[in-house]
Amino acid sequence: MMFANKKHFITAIVGVLAALSIIALVLSLVKIEDVTLPPTVKYGMVFDAGSSHTSLFVYEWDSDKENDTGVVSQTLSCDVQGPGISSYASDPPKAGDSLRECLDKALKVIPKKRDVPAYLGATAGMRLLREQNSSATAQVLAEVAKTMREYPVAFKGARILTGEEEGTYGWITTNYLLESFTKFSPKAHTWIHPEAPNIFGALDLGGASTQISFRPEGSVINWNEGSKLTLYGYNYNIYTHSYLCYGQNEMLKRLAKELIVESSSSTRVAHPCYPKDYNETISLSSFHTSPCTNRSDPRLTLGDRNVTLEGRGNASGCLAAIKKLFNFSACGQSPDCTFDGIYQPLVSGRFIAFSAFYYNFKFLNLTEGQSLATVRETIEHFCTRSWEDLSSSYPEEKPERLPKYCANANYILTLLLDAYKFNETSWNNIFFQMKVGSTDVGWTLGYMLNLTNMIPAEAPVQVKGHVPSLWAAAVAFIILTLGLGLAALLLLLWV
């Protein structure tokens, strides 16, 4: 026999089992991240089909952290060439074709054979088109869907968002990126709810609409203007409202129309917001292209004649003209009303102002937390500069955009101060910002997160300490089984 006596045999068996037990114990304590393969990166894409242009955003995240973390990052943003898809109402196939260049760019950054969910959300431009021509709207969306189905992506649909959805998704994006809902705790090795979360409001200004979304103090009286959300196990009651026809492009059209009306249909009309010595000729028939300016007006028969708008560079006159675009009298003395009789609770907390809010103030160098007094002074000075002065000072700025900054800036002031009722103190709670890290702030990320169920209603499972690896446990079990089998075999040989 291979053992001199029974004592040596038992000692050998005990030694083998002890060694195997130690190995199994070590394996069972190995943390899961030490033994698993690197996680697969997943991707998603969303087209933001706005009123004036379309943009594509590609996002990525680790698949093993899909449902309970804030790890989504922006991989690509691509601006679609040409106007918004609503501009192709008379030639719908061009709406789909316009997306191809950005789709091609997206596929270059996404590995092949990935089941990439792809969405297109249309906003105020398509909402306006739907008011005018529902059949053309359907055709445009159909052509967009047709194009996207030609690409190797998991196309999930093209639809028009409501204004309230746009505002809510922008609010979700803002707070998701700022880790207001959940954040990773290295100590606990899990994602936790912040003890004192900073929930931000969201201010969005587009070409055809503007949105305000925030969590008010106290209760919201009118829940027709609110949303009740459950995210990561916590309830959020937010106020959100969207104002169609109050985006900056539609505002400029409405302003021009009002100035023409007040001039008694003259062919040359003074424009207080345009720089001195700047002229722009427009056709009155252009007002027919939007429901915002095509509404019946007994003061004016539009016709097809041309009118020349002559810049005056009048800062105070510009502000006064813009305020006339709002019906503030409909609110009376009510503190919880903006204009046109729209209910809004008092603004509270901090806000991120993005999109056109940011771009206009960035151009004027007003995104560094300047006081309201400084902002007013800067805008007033800018509005008095001549066209020659501005053209020579900003040679790289698009000539069709440069003369409109005065009107846009005064419009932002009116919207924030007179409509939303920010004041000297609460102004300091507005942060003009377009990105958090490398990711754009806007509604698209919140939209994708919602449709991919990446923000659960339930709170993440709180796990503390080491997480045993199923793989390691399985190996430990196999080793123990083999050890027992070996011991049994040796016993048979002894007998």
pLDDT of amino acid 111 = 87
pLDDT category at 468 given cuts 50, 70, 90 is very low
Kindly state the average pLDDT of the residues 368-373: 97
* Arithmetic mean of pLDDT over the chain: 86
Q: Is the pLDDT of residue 2 over 90?
A: no
- CATH of 192-442 among 3.30.1540.10, 2.40.40.20, 3.20.20.70, 3.30.420.150: 3.30.420.150
Q: Which parts of 48-162 fold into alpha helices (H)?
A: 93-97, 100-109, 124-132, 134-148
166 is catalytic: yes
Q: Is the pLDDT of residue 67 over 50?
A: no
Residues 422-448 have pLDDT tens digits of 999 999 999 999 999 999 999 999 999
Kindly state the average pLDDT of the residues 59-67: 70
Domain 38-160 CATH class label = alpha beta
Three-state SS for 57? Answer: strand
Q: Which of 222 and 365 is assigned the larger pLDDT?
A: 365
pLDDT category at 470 given cuts 50, 70, 90 is very low
The catalytically annotated residue of 165, 166, 225, 250 is 166
Residues 180-237 have pLDDT tens digits of 988 766 676 667 778 767 899 999 999 999 999 999 987 666 656 677 888 888 889 9
Residues 252-297 have pLDDT tens digits of 999 999 999 888 767 899 999 999 999 999 998 889 889 999 876 6
pLDDT of amino acid 285 = 87
Kindly state the average pLDDT of the residues 167-172: 97
Q: Do domains 38-160 and 192-442 have the same CATH topology?
A: yes
How many percent of the chain have pLDDT more than 90? 66
Q: Is the pLDDT of residue 5 over 90?
A: no
Task: Indicate the domain borders of the chain.
Answer: 6-36+469-494, 38-160, 192-442
Kindly state the average pLDDT of the residues 233-255: 95
Q: Which of 460 and 466 is assigned the larger pLDDT?
A: 460
